[in-house]
Chain A
Amino acid sequence: MSVTAISEQARGAPEPSFGFWRRSYAMLVKEFIQLRRDRVSFAMIVMIPVMQLLLFGYAINTTPRHLPAAVLLQEDSDLGRSILKAMENTAYFRFTREVHDVAEFDDLLKSGKVLFGVEIPRGFERMVRRGDKPALLVAADATDPVAAGSALGTLGALVQTALAHDLHIGDPPEMPFEIRAHARYNPAASSRLNIVPGLVGTILTMTMLIFTALSVTREIERGTMESLLSMPIKPVEVMFGKIIPYVIVGFIQASLIVGIGVLLFGVPILGSVLLLAALTTLFITTNLSIGYTFSTIVQNQLQAMQLSMMFFLPSILLSGFMFPFAGMPVWAQYLGEGLPLTHYVRIVRAIMLKGATIQNLQYDTIALIALMLLAMTIAVTRFRRTLD
């Protein structure tokens, strides 16, 4: 008779299924306690879904309205003004700029500052009244076929409205002028041309963010931080040391994605490959800096992952990658401007599909640099140099 047998009886244990539940229960209780202790993660469990649902529920709009448009007025006539007015009345167009020559017109489209350009040619009204059927030119940035498509679709009915209600020409038997819509950059309205360049940015955002988001917390969790801090190294040096290797990794990754996009999906690179490479590197570094900043803010690797996801989802949804940027409410657009992916999606589409140059992309380039420097500054000031 052994002692173990007695003590087991005393514990009343031997039934296996009971043992299973008891052990599972022990594990469950432990997990709940740990979950409760990790306040930040606990807060994120509630905050993330609520915030994201409210954010995206209100922000996302797949039939975008009030899209920015530029107008080139070669003549100042009543007819011209009523056509523009009618276009704005459809709520699809919003004339934000007036240009004076065709080059300016092209530049605005290339840089993505407007999605449409309307040109009213010289002598337009006279030609209409004479029945010459002049052409009204509407150029659309069709890199995003969804954004451009529904707006262009309204143009036909527009003529009727403009003529009937504003010109009092009566009910013309046939169209008095022709609307020539030009779907630029992506005439076949292929969504692939739109998606693939955007995917370059989306994939890079996710991978780069995770690489660095875990870097500092990993040192803390493995205990190596104590050693590191006791050595003469400065926060900036830690940051550069942790970011630079991944710039190279990111660059290789970007080359792969772009290469496949060109070879397999037939996406062109109309602009400079060098410019694309340079700005992609900038974008990679910006994301790495943001990931690193997260790493200096959170307390453990779980929080780092959650924060990365919290950043990643708006990047996809609010950057113009998935839904037309111009279709979002203004507040959401401001949020979007704060995401590196927003600027990179514009850059990569502009260079690949529109052949844009650095002059067209000044604003987005500066925005990326600003975001990178902001992230780095926060990271360096947040980096705890002591164990206090």
Chain B
Amino acid sequence: MTPARTPPPDIAIDVEGLTKSFGGRKVVQDLSMQVRRGSIYGFLGPNGSGKTTTIRMLCGLLTPDSGEGTCLGYDIRRDADKIKRQVGYMTQRFSLYQDLSVRENLEFVARLYGLANAKGAAREMIKRIGLSGREEQLAGELSGGWKQRLALGACTLPNPQLLLLDEPTAGVDPKARRDFWNEIHALAAEGLTVLVSTHYMDEAERCHEIAYIAYGNLLAHGTVDEVIAKSALSTFTVTGDDLNTLSAELTGKPGVDMVAPFGTSLHVSGRDKAALEASVAPYRDSAKWKWQDSEPSLEDVFIDLMNRSKDNFQ
């Protein structure tokens, strides 16, 4: 076994070459990433892209087939117990006890982590997550938004240094989502590192840094602006009537890699700017549409990344 690398102290997660297969299918492939302490790191990718598997490997719930790394300075293969003490993991599916009340669930977690005053800690957390008045309600009877708050409360209760949140806002209404993100930012401001996986682009934009993973491969990472800049994608935003016709006509033309409707506008993107411009030139003079040279959106970039990686894989 190679000796564990000692990462710089401001790095919370530092892994290299993580690979994991299930039943012969590679779910995560040669994944390397670094997450700075105190940052909110967004982990994006389509369903089944290996986000959950990666998160589970980081907190010792799965053993990587190959690759190595550290989490909070502890080796992810050997020091799973130490990692677990300092990491709060919020699972994708609600995994607290449905037949225990809010208070009982939190007290259970507090006792498991050996907090000095379990009851007190639970009481404080109930206040912090705004569940006062619902302490005695069974967790199974809470609505989606409340369950998510409770789950976040449970994993922040032992004062972890790192939070791993696996699609924490799936199925939660916009208001609750916003509150949730405010809470995440508040926690990060206190020095907590947060790794959060999500499908939502607006959530990605709330992260300090993002990584995009598809088919088990990490395709891009950096700040949102960096990821967009690195994509080398040129995009036109078209407004006007009869965008459906335009969309149908442009799709498949040389240089046009992507045509996607965005409300009342259409995004037309391509990696080869010259080819793209040549293909759209006949339509640019039409009075029907207004063309605008614009930045690609994060979603454009991701869809493009995904399309490209799919090509590589099939």
Contacts and interface: CB of A to CB of B under 8 A. Distances in A.
Interface of A: 222-227, 229-233, 385-388
B76 to A, nearest CB: 12
A230 B62 contact: no
B61 A226 contact: yes
B85 A232 contact: yes
Given A223-B94, A223-B95, A224-B95, A231 B113 contact: yes
B95 A386 contact: no
Contacts of A222: 97-98
Contact of B61 (A224, A233, A386): A386
A387 B81 contact: no
Given A230-B87, A231-B113, A232-B84, A387 B95 contact: no
A229 B87 CA distance: 12
B198 to A, nearest CB: 19
A95 to B, nearest CB: 59
Given A226-B61, A387-B56, A387-B62, A232 B113 contact: yes
7 contacts: A222-B98, A223-B94, A226-B61, A227-B96, A230-B59, A230-B91, A232-B112
B93 interface: yes
B153 interface: no
B113 A223 contact: no
Interface in B83-130: 84-85, 87, 89, 91, 93-98, 109, 112-113
Contacts, number: 47
Contacts of A231: 84, 109, 112-113
Contacts of B62: 386-388
A286 to B, nearest CB: 27
Interface string B44-69: 00000000000010011111000000
Contacts of A386: 60-63
Contact of A230 (B84, B93, B97): B84
A214 to B, nearest CB: 14
Nearest to B81: A232
Contacts of B59: 230
Contacts of A233: 112
A224 B95 CA distance: 4
Contacts of A387: 56, 61-62
Nearest to A241: B112
Contacts of A225: 95
B96 A224 contact: yes
Contacts of B96: 224, 227
A13 B113 CA distance: 59
A302 to B, nearest CB: 20
Nearest to A387: B61
Contacts of B112: 231-233
B63 A230 contact: no
Nearest to A225: B95
Nearest to B94: A223
Given A232-B84, A232-B85, A232-B112, A227 B91 contact: yes
A35 to B, nearest CB: 21
Nearest to B93: A223
Interface centre among A222, A224, A227, A229 (most CB of B within 10 A): A227
B155 to A, nearest CB: 8
Contacts of A230: 59-61, 84, 87, 89, 91
A79 B31 CA distance: 90
B61 A229 contact: yes
Nearest to A233: B112
Contacts of B93: 223, 226
Given A226-B95, A388-B63, 18 more contacts: A223-B91, A223-B95, A226-B91, A227-B89, A227-B91, A227-B95, A229-B61, A230-B59, A230-B60, A230-B91, A231-B84, A231-B109, A232-B85, A232-B112, A232-B113, A386-B63, A387-B62, A388-B62
A232 to B, nearest CB: 4
A298 B94 CA distance: 23
A225 B63 CA distance: 17
Contacts of B97: 222, 224
B239 to A, nearest CB: 35
A249 to B, nearest CB: 17
Contacts of B85: 232
Contacts of B63: 386, 388
Nearest to B140: A222
A232 B154 CA distance: 14
A227 B113 CA distance: 13
A294 B154 CA distance: 30
A387 B97 CA distance: 19
Contacts of A227: 89, 91, 95-96, 154
Contacts of B98: 222
A64 B112 CA distance: 54
A233 B85 CA distance: 9
Nearest to B22: A388
A185 to B, nearest CB: 48
A217 to B, nearest CB: 15
Interface string B145-172: 0000000001000000000000000000
A385 B109 CA distance: 18
A202 to B, nearest CB: 30
Nearest to A234: B81
A29 to B, nearest CB: 25
A374 B60 CA distance: 28
B56 to A, nearest CB: 6
Interface centre among B61, B80, B93 (most CB of A within 10 A): B61
CB-CB nearest 8 A-B residue pairs: A227-B95, A230-B89, A232-B84, A223-B95, A232-B85, A226-B91, A226-B95, A231-B112
A39 to B, nearest CB: 15
Nearest to B164: A230
A225 to B, nearest CB: 8
